[in-house]
Structure 1
């Protein structure tokens, strides 16, 4: 059963995937290389160092945006690539430090140029787009900069300050958004390896994050794979995860559900839709 599920998914990927996703699949499950993934990732990077060109498949904006740049950092995290001399990494740091798409210590979640290209409705930029107060993706981007960046760079201290402010904001929050929680998971992972002199208690931060992950997972399993809700796999990658204890039964149920709900094509149902751009959404949902 497991082998059949895997092989059907693999067949769909080989028939349909973009090079960036095929090489990631090959890296994780076959004999693929980091270089192949990085070569595929590099084509999405702009001259300013940021990323666009629908790397984040719900936004076809070719211009650099913080969200699409965040998507690139997620792939670098997958590969454990944090080399300051790597041209992709160096470009990202340059983009983040440039002040582009940045204000009031936040990288903008949406940018006006999104509106000029096919996109999901949540990536539309309104007139007040700069009035952002969410740490998605700022918490993750700032901690990436502090983890990887040159401590002598003028922006490094600012990135440290943003990390500290992000944690302070999080500790005061009651019910953070699941996407924001994911960014804070990155920040927590980075803090394990960073020498950040910030006024917060690491253990309290970790305990709150564990609790918030548990609370954000939808307990009504009838909604899973039908609506846009958090399932365990959103946050848990292995049984070694700090979020796994206490969620063992839900994780086991999701594994069972994955096997049972695979479509004949080898895929699983996409649980969201765009309100416009039907043709482009058909392509993006396939990605």
Structure 2
């Protein structure tokens, strides 16, 4: 397959540096030349609230300033990679405090967003309904499985939750799934297993492969839609890609390359149906997020010409 040419790579990177949020700009600089970890931490700190949680549009489809477990999990994905930075370490600890406080005893997990989300512009799937849940909350593992992974990694900072109990509950839930309806739930379990490979027993690995094969979309004609295409599950090369054929990963990389040859950014394959003024701003932010993600995939697989 063709690699993304250096001029097309530079064009996409320059688009992020000109139009992206400060967070994506800092991550792009880190990707290009390294040495910008503190810039990422500083940019990320702007999204953290006094309660330790993250909000303020970090998850760009949620415009409320208040913290949410889902936005905090997005922040933790980055902070884990920066944990040796003293400021990042402090941000992690305060975020863990927020997550402990937001734990739902009845749910034995976390709701993705609080009801206050309804008071601010947001994508319709984040609306909290009369039952206290958004559509996302119908699949327990998103974001609870991922959050439990962070609690386990930093268990010395956890003060009042039983981490071992939560891990057991989390794994029991996963192993008892007989139908896989949410790719995002499986992404969360992948992040858990990436943080804690010891949890990925042979039985868990088999279950994860069943989940991936149930959800992955191989039909290239559908990849322009919001679907779980191969790279969503296989962001980095591994000896085993959970049953995803190498040829399909190569096709997906080629698809991403062609997108960036046609445009300097990746367009979000979804839209809001309300708050359209805010959607325009959120869409620009998503372009930066998705373009950075695409460039990272191509670099991970050595598909950028230098």
What TM-score does the superposition give when structure 1 sets the normalisation length? 0.88
Q: Quick check: 1:4 aligned with 2:2?
A: no
Residue equivalent to 1:115: 118
Equivalent residue for 2:271? Answer: 273
State which drifts further: 95-104 or 11-20.
Answer: 95-104
Cα 1:152/1:58, change in 2 over 3 Å = closer
Of 281, 284, 296, which residue of structure 2 is paired with 1:283? 281
Alignment partner, residue 297 of structure 2 = none
Distance 2:105 2:241 in 1: 32
Q: Residue in 1 aligned with 2:197?
A: 192
Question: Over residues 120-177 of structure 1, what are the superposed CA-to-partner deviations in whole Å (9 max), with x where a residue is unaligned?
Answer: 001100111259452100000011111113177332x2x3322211211111112321
- Cα gap change, 1:49 to 1:152, in 2 (>3 Å): closer
**Residue of structure 2 equivalent to 1:92:** 95
Match of 1:214 in 2: 213
> Is the helix fraction higher in 1 or 2?
2
Structure 1 distance, partners of 2:46, 2:276, is: 26
Is the counterpart of residue 35 in structure 1 residue 35 in structure 2? no
Contact residue 76 and residue 82 of structure 1 kept, 8 A: no
Report if aligned partners of 2:57, 2:65 keep a CA contact under 8 Å in 1: yes
- Count of residues in Structure 1 that have an aligned counterpart in Structure 2: 278
Q: Find the residue that maps to 2:61 and give its secondary structure.
A: coil
1:229 paired to 2:234: no
8 Å contact 1:69–1:92 — kept in the other structure?
Answer: yes
CA offset digits 1:170-191 (Å, max 9, x no partner): 1111232100000101111232
- 1:62-100 Cα offsets, whole Å, 9 max, x none, are 101001001101112344659898111111111111246
Name the counterpart of 1:149: 155
Out of 257-266 and 90-99, give the one that drifted further: 257-266
Equivalent in 178, 184, 188 of residue 183 of structure 1: 188
Q: Shift in Å at residue 41 of structure 1?
A: 0.6
SS at match of 1:56: coil
Report the alpha carbon displacement of residue 118 of structure 1 after superposing the two structures with TM: 0.7
Match of 2:204 in 1: 205
CA contact (8 A) 1:147 1:193 kept: no
* Unmatched runs of 5 consecutive residues or more in structure 1: 195-200
Distance, in Å, in 1 between the alignment partners of 2:155 and 2:86 is 9
Bigger drift between 137-146 and 228-237 goes to 228-237
> Structure 2 stretches of 5 or more lacking a match?
286-306
Which structure exhibits the higher relative contact order, with contacts defined as CA atoms closer than 8 Å and separated by 6 or more residues? 2
| Paired residue secondary structure (1:114) | helix
2:69 touches 2:112 (CA, 8 Å); kept in 1? yes
For the aligned residues, what is the CA RMSD?
2.4
> What is the alpha-carbon distance in structure 1 between the residues aligned to residue 157 and residue 44 of structure 2?
26
Q: Distance in 2 between matches of 1:101 and 1:41?
A: 26
Moved over 6 A (4+): 82-85
For the pair 1:126 / 2:129, whether they are aligned, the reply is yes
